[in-house]
Amino acid sequence: MRQKNPEKMAETIKVLTEEKRLFPPPQEFKESAHIKGMEEYTALYKESVEDPEGFWDRMAGIVDWTKKWDKVFECDFEKPEIKWFLGGRLNAAYNCIDRHLKGFRRNKAALIWESDEGEVKTYTYQQLSREVNRFANVLKKKGATKGDRITIYLSMIPELVIAALACARIGAIHNVVFGGFSSASLRERISDCASNLVITADEGVRGGKSVPLKRNTDEAIADYPCVENVIVVKRTGAGVSMTEGRDTWWHEEISEPDIEEISEPEEMDSEDPLFILYTSGSTGKPKGVLHTTGGYLVYTALSFKWIFDYKDEDIFFCTADIGWITGHSYVIYGPLACGATCLIFEGTPTYPEPDRFWEIVDKHRVNILYTAPTAIRALMRYGDEWVKKHSLASLRLLGTVGEPINPKAWMWYHEVVGKGRLPIVDTWWQTETGGILITPLPGATTLKPGSAGRPFFGVKPLVLTKEGKEAGSNEGGYLVIEDSWPGILRGTYGDPEKKRMKELYFSHFPGLFFTGDGARIDGDGDYWLMGRIDDVLNVSGHRLGTAEIESALASHLDVSEAAVVGYPHEVKGEGIYAFVVLREGMEVPGGFEKTLGGQVKKVISPIARPDKIQFTTGLPKTRSGKIMRRILRKIAGGRTEDLGDVSTLADPSVVDELVKGRK
Ligand code: WT7
């Protein structure tokens, strides 16, 4: 296991800059906000951590329960055992749709979809209800029942939300696979959770290009006969092959007789699984992070409402793909549980021009925009003119997520997009945390560019030194979480004994949840996230394990060994640098970098393709055979003058070759 990484920690601390600018919440914003100031935050936070039972008992009423819980929580991180709202019963899809049909929200837009080409489709809650009910009936007809795993491999189209909620309605567990993943990655995720039904489309569309989703699905399940049904959305009308008896069209299925019949939502236990979402770790294959129903829904609904200060008349635009946790928690469950209007966008920020986001904001009068630092940095490079062409007057709040935001990008977002008047919520969280854990509250927090603010209610983070002592102010260390909160993962798929879960998250510092991130707390108590301290890369906000990329490279017959590290990248945050050793005595064939890039694309996804590949005859290893990544990271990042002690290497001469051959 190469997880805890004090060296990487020290490297990160060194690059910290002292940021002194302060942005208090605008008075006007403060007055109308749900949480109206630091005093209110402090008092409520205190209550939430001193009396979590009372606090969450009160908060859980944000969702509707068919049976009230008997006990608020039962959690023990040592085991680990995590249960919230024990004995409570509810249905997530009912909470996201049906309950809004009783009042004025019935005719309110639930989803506004903008296609890659700029076409708009709107679903009111009533209309969404019909679609979800019909598709739930389709799933039932196919034999799907409570507890089944259903894979959804789609791009950002309304059918993705409809399919996920239809699963939730019948109690099936959805497994959404990002449409940018390859057929091999899809197969891995289908077979790991033994899913027998896949929902896909003929093609996906992004930035004027199409993605062969159906063809990828066919490849993924060609030698995996357990998939009995494939339901295909017609998105582009491209010719695809349909396997008789297995593949059917979405539009035909939902037009069958009887499909309109209202089917009651399945009553679920609070701890029944809601979904699995695969994510990368520092070792091995991606794991299926498991979230359950009650706690997850309470946590995403409450955090959505308060962090984005959501009001019924707002239009909320989260640019994340539903293939990642952000889309699960803050496109589907949090917003819809609150009866919000959510804008979903199929395309990319730069197509057809780099003002697409701003065009969408003006066209739909978006009020809250939630996006990623990588998008901000990319758009910043095209210049302010693209933003200034649009009024953006409807915006009242900005948010970011996915990676640390550098103060320069924060300032640009604040000044150019926010005209110097909008608060920014820099929200820190993870697939495993289910919802946002560290964040400013827009009506309370005095913002500092680059800081994610303070813990959300009920969340008790700690920053520890490698000896496990609490780090001093500004010292920096490992970010861990002390007690449970309702949105935390309940396990990983295929690990009922929770052995893997324990090892991954609760063993580094026994009894504490290990995040894999470094952080420091400044003198005021504000948190500064410093990136991963394990072998997980964050490339454009996408989480990738170095081990996965190494294994994809090594799956090429001519590769004997590969080591992958990250290096600072102006737009992506982190770029991928691969050191590759070929078979003994082999010359590097012409164009081989491209071949290997293609290999990674095929095995994982285009997002995992290395930015740089350096061929070498050896890697820096200790005498016990451990690769010294510290040295590779320094070479990749161009810090070759200070490689540190290389005397413990089995063959120190390899370092010269690596430095000379640096890309
Ligand atoms: C990792 C989790 C959470 C939704 C998207 C990513 C990094 C996330 C921030 C932030 C600094 C951040 C962390 C974390 N991260 N948000 N605001 N500031 N870093 O989810 O794919 O599970 O990745 O993203 O390193 O561990 P994920």
Peptide bond into 80 cis (omega under 30): yes
Q: Whose CA is nearest to atom 17 of ligand 1?
A: 428
In this structure, are residues 292 and 271 in contact, taking their beta carbons and an 8 Å threshold?
yes
What the block records as the tokens of 389 is 């062409």
For the cut 60, the answer to whether the pLDDT of residue 127 exceeds it is: yes
pLDDT band at 11 (very low <50, low <70, confident <90, very high): low
Mean pLDDT, the chain, integer:
95
> What is the sign, positive or negative, of the torsion defined by CA atoms of 467, 470, 473, 479?
positive
Q: What is the pLDDT of residues 356-373, one digit of tens each?
A: 999 999 999 999 999 999
Which atom number of ligand 1 is nearest to the Cα of residue 529? 11
Atom of ligand 1 nearest to the CA of 516: 26
Convert the pLDDT of each residue in 47-74 to its tens digit.
Answer: 999 999 999 999 999 999 999 999 999 9
What pLDDT digit, counting tens, does each position of 329-360 carry?
Answer: 999 999 999 999 999 999 999 999 999 999 99
**Ligand 1 atom closest to the CA of 429, numbered from 1:** 3
Q: How far is CA 499 from CA 81, 190, 505, in A?
A: 11, 22, 10
Closest CA to 627 of 581, 582, 573: 581
Cα(659) to centroid of ligand 1, in Å? 32
| Placement of tokens 């320069």 in the chain | 408
**What are the CA-CA distances from residue 309 to residues 33, 53, 298, 315 (Å)?**
6, 24, 16, 12
Cα(5) to ligand 1 centroid in Å equals 18
* Atom from ligand 1 closest to the CA of residue 439: 17
pLDDT of residue 256: 95
Task: Decide: 632 and 610 in contact? Cβ < 8 Å.
Answer: no
Q: Atom 24 in ligand 1: which residue has the minimum CA distance?
A: 402
The protein residue whose alpha carbon is closest to atom 1 in ligand 1 is 430
How far away, in angstroms, is 430 Cα from ligand 1 center? 5
Confidence of residue 9 (pLDDT cuts 50, 70, 90): low
Per-residue pLDDT at 4: 52
Q: Could you tell me the pLDDT band of residue 86, with boundaries at 50, 70 and 90? A: very high
- pLDDT tens-place string over residues 264-298: 999 999 999 999 999 998 878 899 999 999 999 99
Give the tokens for residue 267.
Answer: 């009553």
By alpha-carbon position, which residue is closest to atom 27 of ligand 1? 430
Within the chain, what is the greatest distance between any pair of CA atoms? 75
- Compute the average pLDDT of residues 530-536: 91
- Reference 23, options 352, 337, 440; nearest CA is 440
For the segment 489-503, what is each residue's pLDDT rounded down to a tens digit? 999 999 999 999 999
Sign of the Cα pseudo-torsion (632, 633, 637, 643, in order) = negative
What spacing in Å lies between the alpha carbon of 531 and ligand 1's midpoint? 8
Tell whether the model's pLDDT for residue 509 goes beyond 50.
yes
Q: Residue 419 C-alpha to ligand 1 middle, in angstroms?
A: 26
Q: How far apart are CA 27 and CA 17, in angstroms?
A: 29
CA atoms within 13 A on the CB side of 52: 18
Mutate to test the pocket of ligand 1, among 178, 538, 540, 572 (most ligand atoms within 8 A of CB): 538
Going by CA atoms, what residue is nearest to atom 18 of ligand 1?
404
User: Ligand 1 centre and the CA of 325: distance in Å?
Assistant: 10
* Stretch (H or E) spanning 210: strand 209-211
Is 237 strand, coil or helix? coil
Q: What is the pLDDT of residues 392-431, one digit of tens each?
A: 999 999 999 999 999 999 999 999 999 999 999 999 999 9
SS3 158: helix
What does the pLDDT look like over 235-272, one tens digit per residue? 999 999 999 999 999 999 999 999 999 999 999 999 99
Q: Residue for token digits 């006990």?
A: 71
Q: Binning pLDDT at 50, 70 and 90, where does residue 625 land?
A: confident
3-state secondary structure of 657: helix
- Whether pTM exceeds 0.85: yes
Q: What is the pLDDT of residues 566-584, one digit of tens each?
A: 999 999 999 999 999 999 8
Burial of 428-462, coded b for 16+ CB within 10 Å and e otherwise, reads bbbbbbbbbbbbbbbbbbebbbbbbbbbbbbbbbb
> Cβ contacts of residue 316 below 8 Å, gap of 6+?
308, 310, 335, 340, 341, 342, 343, 366, 367, 368, 370
Spatial separation of the C-alpha atoms in residues 233 and 221, rounded to whole Å? 18
Distance 451 CA to ligand 1 centre (A): 13
Q: Whose CA is nearest to atom 11 of ligand 1?
A: 404
Question: In angstroms, what is the span from residue 538 Cα to ligand 1's centroid?
Answer: 8
Give the three-class secondary structure for 186.
helix
Atom of ligand 1 nearest to the CA of 542: 21
Alpha carbon of residue 480 to chain centroid? 19
> In testing the pocket of ligand 1, which one of 304, 517, 520 has its CB within 8 Å of the most ligand atoms?
517
Residue in this structure with the two tokens 């560290």, named with its chain if needed: 438
Residue 618: CB atoms within 10 Å:
16
Q: Give dist(CA 566, CA 546) in Å, integer.
A: 8
Q: What residue's CA is closest to ligand 1, atom 20?
A: 430
- Ligand 1 pocket by C-beta < 6 Å: which residues? 279, 324-326, 401-404, 426-431, 452, 515-517, 529, 531-532, 538, 543
Distance 575 CA to ligand 1 centre (A): 16
Per-residue CA distances from 384 to 89, 266, 352, 396, 470 (Å):
51, 50, 17, 19, 43
Q: Tens digits of per-residue pLDDT, 459-486?
A: 999 999 999 999 999 999 999 999 999 9
Instruction: Please determine, for residue 322, whether its predicted confidence score (pLDDT) is greater than 80.
Output: yes
